[in-house]
Amino acid sequence: MTTEFVLGLGREAITLTLLVSAPMLVLGLLVGVAISILQAVTQIQEMTLTFVPKIVVVTLAFLLFLPWIINLLVGFTTRLFTNIPMLTG
C-alpha cells in the first residue's frame, strides 16, 4: 500500500461524500433563499415557515436521487473490496 494509493482513496471518498450530499444541500439552499426572499417581501418572520418547506424538499430530493446515490456508493464499495488483496500484500 503506497502513499499515493491512500491519498487517492481519501480523495475519492471525499469526492463521493460531496457528490452524495450535493443534491439535498443545493435544493435545500435554493428553497431557503426563496423562502427568505418571500419573508423579506411580506415581512412575515415565522421560524417554522423556513424549516418545514426545506425539510420537505430535502426529503423529496433524497427520495428522487436515492437510486443514483446507491449506485455511487455500491460502485465505491465494490472498488474498495476489489482492492483488498492489494491493500494487504
Cβ density class 25-61: b for 16+ within 10 Å, e for less: eebbeebeeebeeeeeeeeeeeeeebeebbeebbeeb
What residue has cell string 455500491?
74
| Cell representation of residue 19 | 457528490
Per the confidence metrics, is the pTM higher than 0.85?
no
What is residue 1's predicted lDDT score, i.e. its pLDDT?
A: 73
Q: What is the pLDDT of residues 59-69, one digit of tens each?
A: 999 999 999 99
Q: What is the pLDDT of residues 47-58, one digit of tens each?
A: 788 899 999 999
Which of the residues in the chain have pLDDT under 70?
89
Q: pLDDT over 70 for what percent of the chain?
A: 99
